[in-house]
Structure 1
Amino acid sequence: MPELIDPQLVLLAESVVLSDDGFCAIYDILASLHDADSFMVLKALSGQDGNPFYAAFVEAKEGEWLGELCLQLTTVDGLKARNEPDAERLKIKLHKVIEPELGFLDARAMTRAGLEAVRRVCRVVVENSRGEVSYGTGFLVGPQAILTAWHVIEQLLGDDGVPLEGSDEKIKIEFDHVGAVYEQLHVSVAPQWLVSSSAYHQTESPHQVSIDFLAQSSDGFDQCLDYAGIRLSSTVGRFRGFYQLDRLHKPQIRVPGSQMTLYQHPGGKQMRVAYGYGTALWPAEHQTRLRHTVNAMPGSSGGLLLDVNFKPVALHQCGIESNGELINGAIPTACIAARSAGVLEGVLGLDPV
Structure 2
Amino acid sequence: MYVYLFICLIKKKKNINKNIAMGNQTIVNEFFLSGLSDLPALQLPLFLFFLFIYFLTVIWNLLIIFLIVTDSHLHVPMYFFLGNLAGLDLCCSTVTVPRMLFDLYTKRRKITITACKTQVFFFLLFTTSEALLLTAMSYDRYTAICQPLHYTQIMCWKVCVQLMSIVWSLAFTNAVVHTLFALNLSFCASDIIKSFFCDLPQLFQISCNDTYINIVLVFLLSSFLGGGSLIVMFMSYTYIIKTVLKMQVKGKGGKVFSTCSSHLAVVFIFYFSISFNYFRPSTNNHFAADKVVSVFYTVISPLFNPLIYSLRNQEFKTASLSFFRKIFQPKDRIHPN
What is the TM-score normalised by the length of structure 2? 0.23
The one of the two structures with greater contact order (alpha-carbon pairs below 8 A, sep at least 6) is 2
TM-score, length basis structure 1: 0.22
Structure richer in strand, relative to its length: 1
Greater helix proportion:
2
Query: In terms of Rg, which structure is larger?
Result: 1
